[in-house]
Each structure stands twice: as C-alpha cells, then as structure tokens.
Amino acid sequence: MEIVKRQKMLIFLAFLLFLSGCAGQENEAGDAAETRFFGMDTDISITAYGKNAEEALTDAQSKVAELEKLWSVTDENSDIYAINHSRGRPVNVSEETKRILSFALDMAKQTGGALEPTIYPALTAWGFTTGENRIPDKSELEEILRDVGYGNVHLSGNEVTLPSGMELDLGAVGKGFVADELSNALKQAGVTSALLDLGGNIQLIGTKPDGTDWKIGLRDPFGESYIGVLSISDRAVVTSGNYERYFIGEDQKQYGHILDPATGYPAENGLVSVTVVAEEGKLCDALSTSLFVMGQEKAMDYWRENQNFDMILLTEKGEIYLTEGLADKFETEPDYGDVRVELIKETVDRKGE
C-alpha cells in the first residue's frame, strides 16, 4: 500500500500554468509573441507582450544557448569543463560564469552547505549524471564526500581554482540564473508582460496583459487535480522535489536526485516539495533546492532568519505550510479535500515555553 501511495506521488508535476485567455492575444502593450525550445536540458517556453517582443524572444533563445555552453558539465569547451579538468590550476572564466559561481558559493555559505555546488561526484556515484542508477555503499559515499566542499573553491576576480579531484556543477541554480538574465533582457527590449517557463522554473514580468495576476496551479501529489492556485505577478516561482527525477532501487525504495551533502544520500525528511517565491529566479532556484535538503523545521527557521522570500512546503502527510506573504495569494482547490493549510509565523509557538 505504501508503495502505491508513493508511486501516485511521483506522477505529480510541480506546476501547471493556466494560460488560456492570454496566449495569442493582442493588447495595448503590443502583440503577443511566443516561443518554445529545448535548452538547459529542459523544455523552455516564453510568452511575451510589448514592443519588439518577437525579436526579444529570438535573442532570448540565443542567450540560453550561449549560457548553456559556458556551464555545461560535459561540453569540452565550457568554463565548467575547464575548471573540472584543471587539476588544481587556476582557470580564467567569463564574466557570467564568475557571477553565477560567486552567487552559488554565497548561497552555499548562507545555507550552511545545504546547497553544495561540488556535490557532483556523489551524483555520479548514484548514476544521476549518466542515467545508470545504482545504490552506492555508505563507505563509497563517505570517501567521495571527502572531496566535496564549496569552501575549497577559490574565486578571485575571474580566476577559479578547484582542487584536483573535485567537480563543480551549477545545475541547482543555472535555470534560475538564466531566467533572471532573460527577464532583464526582455524588459530592456520593451517587454512589459511575460511568462517564462524553464522546465517548471517560472519567471513573471509584470501582470497578465489585462492587468490581472498570473495564475499558477500547484498540482496535487496524491491525486489528479490541484492543491491550489497561486495568483502572482512580477515574481519568480521555483519548485524542487524528489518526485520528478528519481529511480526505484533493487530494494524497491525510491531515490531522488537532490542529495543531502552531509550524508551523500538523497534528502528524505518528510517534505514532498518546496516552492519558493521571490523577485529573483536565482534566489528561488538556490533556495528551493537547499530548503528541500534542510527539511521542514530548518527551512522554517531559515525563512524566519532571512525573510527575503516566500515559500510553500508540501509534506508527505499532505499538509501545506505557507509563509505570511502568500496568505492572500494562494487559494486551495475545493477538490483537494480537508487539507491542512498552516501559516508559517515569524515567531515560533513553542508550547510550555
């Protein structure tokens, strides 16, 4: 029974967009332009309104290709490939690589290493980088973790030094960072309203052309319908969970692709997903991954300490926890049943204290 329930959860896709009524429409802001393409290992779609939207979307696609080429782990010409094969020698990187790396290292520090840009060798041990999944021994993981640690990455100006045996991977922040770049470029080109979807990483410019909020649906992990809908504008919305990329081991257990850097094992702490809402996509992307690693209690504490974002936590028990900023933006679907929605408060209520 347990397995049946879990498998149902896996069908769950984080977000579904309700785009009807806006795509293809003309409006005061100018014609709608749409594009769909494959990039950064995922499906990307952008709908934009405003002057020059069409041209801006063509530029956006080239921008994705350009950044992807810099950060690919496998492309021999990428900055990341050069760093990972440098055998400890300093490597000169592009301005964009310097910026994303500097951001990733800051966030790694800020999250106490829950975000770990050097976790790649552990992902390889689990077969997540090759698709040939296996369950590594505890001792194998312990050995690998000796060469994992963002603190050993040195960035000085445009020069990166990575000790031999270590590997960098910006997969957990790349899409969010690219979404910010695209969003800024679109705004500069005169786009006043847009929805960018980079494989479920959502970035919104302005409101919908009719002036109302964009509606983003949160899928029900336990059924076919939605848990609720987020009405939101001018923000990024990013979800991380272990239900989309995972494998079932010989022991019939499910192993997800987000690893806890403290153990090298997939994060498993009662959370199904973490959705982060903030102005910048890169912050959302970095936090959704790392708060998922932290688990509910630590994620809530992190929010209390920082508060520069909002979040929605979904637990395996089917509960929803939201931060105060989303209280009037998130509406649960009547179909979802008697779901428990709790507000995460700024102060902790500890009974008996």
CB distance 53 to 185 below 8 Å: no
Cβ 239 to Mg ion shortest distance, Å:
9
Residue 328 C-beta: closest distance to ligand ADP, Å: 27
Does 289 help bind Mg ion (rule: CB under 5 A)?
A: yes
SS3 sequence of 111-136:
CCCCCCCCCHHHHHHCCCCCCCCCCC
Q: 155: which 2 tokens?
A: 């960035």
Interface mask (CB under 5 A) for Mg ion, residues 163-192, using x and -? ---------x--------------------
CA 202, 204, 210, 215 torsion-angle sign? positive
What residue 116 binds from Mg ion, ligand ADP, none (CB within 5 to 8 A, per partner kind)?
ligand ADP
Stated as kind and residue range, the H or E segment containing 351 is none
Residues 259-278 that bind ligand ADP (CB under 6 A): 259, 261
- Binding of residue 114 to Mg ion (CB under 5 A): no
In the complex, the smallest distance separating the C-beta of residue 116 from ligand ADP, rounded to whole angstroms, is 4
Q: Which stretch binds ligand ADP (CB under 6 A): 141-149, 204-212, 252-260, 299-307?
A: 252-260
By the rule CB under 6 A, 167 interacts with ligand ADP: no
Between β-strands 159-161 and 154-156, what pairing exists: parallel, antiparallel or unpaired?
Answer: antiparallel
CA 203 to chain centre: 11
Tell me which long-range contacts 56-59 makes (C-beta under 8 A, separation of at least 24): 56/185, 56/186, 56/189, 56/190, 56/191, 57/33, 57/186, 59/185, 59/189
Q: Which does 345 bind (CB under 5 to 8 A by kind): Mg ion, ligand ADP, none?
A: none
Q: Which amino acid is at 2?
A: E
Minimum distance, C-beta of residue 242 to ligand ADP, in the bound complex (Å): 9
Which residues form the interface with Mg ion (CB under 5 A)? 172, 285, 288-289
Residues of this chain that interact with ligand ADP (CB under 6 A) are 115-117, 119, 123, 169, 171-172, 175, 240, 245, 257-259, 261, 285, 288-289, 293
